[in-house]
Structure 1
Amino acid sequence: MSELEFPTWPPAPLTTERLVLRGAEARDRAAFVELFASPEVGAHLGGPRPREALEHEMPEVPGRRPGLFVAEFAGTMTGVITLDRDRREGAKGPGAAELGFMLLPEAWGRGYAEEACAAVLGWFAGVRPGEPVALRTRTANGRAMRLAARLGFTEVERYEEYGAEQWLGVRLPSSGRSASAAER
């Protein structure tokens, strides 16, 4: 996916009750390798990547690009939250912002994804007011489906891709209002 444009990148770190959301740093490299090599994480993203290849290919500062936030808990990277340009046809057409998230398995089930995504969506609404945000996930990923609902995303379509049923939801700007059928 191509990058969205932001006034400045990285922004000042975003802080929540438990997390810091910031730009990537060299100290995050090992966690990036672990994230992309994880069979649990890869199960929802087409499979894990080989650790040896990641160790060889991963830049010194991985993920250093506009729209990628490192989610940090107690000084350690626990995952990433991304905002990218959606290049697929969808409810709002190509070019809409798309939210993505990946957390290390040991961070699952603690509410970090919701806390981090809500903070990033709030930040996005401030720097790109009036823009809807899309979210795609496999329908088999129950945790992601429940998170999308809690964040205010409304289903727009289901489709087959990567050998599995996929889900596309849209969240309209301001206060997490979801799209009604008339607005789509």
Structure 2
Amino acid sequence: MTGLGPVAWPPAPIRTERLVLRESEARDRAAFIELFASPEVGTYIGGARSREELERAVPEVPGRRSGFFVIDLDGAMIGMVTLDRRDAERPGHVRPGAEKTDEAELGYLFLPEAWGQGYAAEACAAALGWFADVLPGEPVVLRTQTANDRARRVAEKLGFTEVQRYEEYGAEQWLGVWSEAGSAPARRGG
């Protein structure tokens, strides 16, 4: 499932200390292809895709939907953050009866050259702040492979709390939950 549903989109660009979270543009297409073709990025998401396949499949303006932010550093895309509705049929839920509804799920990918700089935590905190403003009180889940230590550290830094582990895609998954009441992500700057 994609998008957040009935929220005003796109929001004004969100500025953090170093980054801008904005809607996708045609100039981002090459970075999208680089992102999904990267073997490093593909390690925990099912592997890299071929550039030829991506050249055919990626639209002129990729990622245009509610809840999809391009992460921009100095005018160039370095990654993406998504807030989507998680299919209710997927394993792992945080609310009673959630298997009948779709929970919001945070996801992110960054180009390898942007790793280790704190950009993921900075961008995700800004996206969570925006989410808390437009859908107050709604929890957000984050899932990653248990083996992905970097992603789990980012989740914990953002205030996600582990609620469950389960098997999916042939690997153990870590599921955490964030709520505005229990977490205090950095609010976006003006």
- What is residue 78 of structure 1 aligned with on the other side? 78
- What is residue 12 of structure 1 aligned with on the other side? 12
Deviation at 1:175, TM superposition (A): 5.6
After superposition, give the CA deviation of every residue in 1:76-111 in whole Å (9 maximum; x if it has no partner). 000000000011341122411100000000000000
Contact 1:6 1:127 in 2 (8 A): no
Give the number of aligned pairs. Answer: 177
- What is residue 91 of structure 1 aligned with on the other side? 94
User: Would you say 1:24 and 2:19 are equivalent positions?
Assistant: no
SS in structure 2 at match of 1:7: coil
SS in structure 2 at match of 1:3: coil
The 1:26/1:84 distance shift into structure 2, 3 A limit, reads same
Unaligned runs of 5+ in 2: 185-190
User: Would you say 1:174 and 2:187 are equivalent positions?
Assistant: no
- What is residue 150 of structure 1 aligned with on the other side? 157
Query: Which deviates further from its counterpart, 82-91 or 143-152?
Result: 82-91
Cα separation, 2, equivalents of 1:131 and 1:11 = 19
Unaligned runs of 5+ in 1: 178-184
- What is residue 180 of structure 1 aligned with on the other side? none
SS in structure 1 at match of 2:172: strand
Cα separation, 1, equivalents of 2:105 and 2:178 = 10
- TM-score (structure 2 length as normaliser): 0.90
SS in structure 2 at match of 1:120: helix
Deviation at 1:6, TM superposition (A): 4.3
Deviation at 1:173, TM superposition (A): 2.0
Cα separation, 1, equivalents of 2:16 and 2:181 = 19
Query: Which deviates further from its counterpart, 3-12 or 97-106?
Result: 3-12
- TM-score (structure 1 length as normaliser): 0.93
Cα separation, 2, equivalents of 1:75 and 1:172 = 31
Cα separation, 2, equivalents of 1:32 and 1:155 = 30
Cα separation, 2, equivalents of 1:138 and 1:155 = 12
Cα separation, 2, equivalents of 1:97 and 1:103 = 20
Q: Give the aligned CA root-mean-square deviation in angstroms.
A: 1.2
Runs (4+) off by over 2 Å: none
